[in-house]
Amino acid sequence: MTVFMAIFLGIVQGIAEFLPISSSGHLAILQNLLSMDYDDESHLLFDVLLHLGTLVSICFVYRKDIKAMISDALEYLRIRGDSEAGEPLSLKPPARALLFILVGTLPMFIALIFSGFVAQLFFRMGFVGFALCVTGGLLFVSDRYIKRGNKTEKTMSLADALIIGCSQAVAVLPGLSRSGTTIAVGLVRGLSGSFAVRFSLLLSVPAVVGATIVAIWRAARGNADFSSFPAYLVGFIVAAVVGFFAIQILRRLMAKRGLGKFAYYCWAIGVLTMLLSLIL
C-alpha cells in the first residue's frame, strides 16, 4: 500500500460515505475494474481505519448531539432507578433519539447472517452497477415526488426507526448508498429534511463501531499488513478531513433539495459499470 493510494482511497471513502453515491460501490469498482493492489485480507486494518476516519468526522460534527443523547439517557436511567414503581417517566428528545438509533441498529444483526453472500457481490460489477442505478432512482423519487414532513426525534415512532434501520441493513449491498437509502426512506416516513440527514448519519455510528470491533479482531488474528501502517494512518486522516466537508455539503444540499442531482451521477456510473462488466 503506497501513500498515494492511501490518500486516494481516503478521499473516495470520505466523499462517498456521506454523499449519496455509495462508498462500497465506488471502492468495488476501483478495485475490480482498475485492478488496484488492495486485498481485503492483508489490508483489513486499512479498511478499519478508513471507516474510523469517517466515524471521527460524524462524531465531531454531531458532538453536541451525541453528548446530549448520552447524558439525557443516563439521567433517565438514574431517575428511573430512584423513582417509585409505576411512576410515569418520559424521555427527553435527545434520549428518544438514542433509543431510535438503537432500535434502528437491530436489523444490522440480521444483515450479518448474509455477510458472506454480500462479500461475493463486491466482485460482480454488473450487480454493483445495477445497485447504483437503484440508488439513483431512490434519490430522484425522494427529491422530486416525496413531500417533506416535519417529524423529528420528538414525534417519530419506533416503527419509523425500525423501517429506516431495515433500509440501512439492505444498503450493505455494494452500490446501494447507505446515506442515500436511509435518508430517502426517512423522507418517505415523514422526517424533516434536516433531521433525516442527522438521523441517517448518527444511525451509522453503532454499525461502524460494531464493524470496527469485528474487523480489529479479524485483523489481529489474520494476515493484516502492519508494515504499511504509516500509509494507513495517512488514509485515516484524509478520510476524516474529507468526510467532515462532505457532511457539510450533504446538509446544505438537503436544505436546498439538491440530493436529486446525484441521481444522474449514480445512473451514469451505474450504466457505465454494467457495460464494462460485459466487456472486461
Please report, for the chain, the start and end positions of each structural domain, with discontinuous segments joined by +.
3-279
Q: What is the pLDDT of residues 51-79, one digit of tens each?
A: 889 999 999 999 999 999 999 999 988 88
Of residues 50 and 39, which shows the higher confidence score?
Answer: 50
Per-residue confidence band for 96, with pLDDT thresholds at 50, 70 and 90: very high
pLDDT value, residue 155:
93
- 21, 130, 161, 178 from 183: Cα distances, Å: 12, 20, 12, 8
pLDDT value, residue 105:
95
User: How large a percentage of the chain has pLDDT more than 90?
Assistant: 56
CA–CA separation, 129 vs 22, rounded Å? 11
Residue 92 pLDDT greater than 60, yes or no: yes
Residue 46 pLDDT greater than 60, yes or no: yes
Q: What is the pLDDT of residues 162-201, one digit of tens each?
A: 999 999 999 999 999 999 999 999 999 999 999 999 999 9
Closest CA to 2 of 238, 274, 235: 235
Residue 226 pLDDT greater than 70, yes or no: no
pLDDT value, residue 267:
97
List, in order, residues 6 or more apart from 174 with CB less than 8 Å away. 22, 24, 25, 28, 118, 121, 122, 127, 128, 131
Residue 41 pLDDT greater than 60, yes or no: no
pLDDT value, residue 86:
53
Q: What is the mean pLDDT of the chain?
A: 87
CB 199 within 8 A of CB 100: yes
Residue 151 bridge partners (DSSP): 191
pLDDT value, residue 90:
79
DSSP string of 225-275?
-GGGHHHHHHHHHHHHHHHHHHHHHHHHHHHTT-TTHHHHHHHHHHHHHHH
CB 262 within 8 A of CB 19: yes
What is the model's pTM? 0.90
Q: What is the pLDDT of residues 5-38, one digit of tens each?
A: 889 889 988 998 899 999 888 888 887 776 655 5
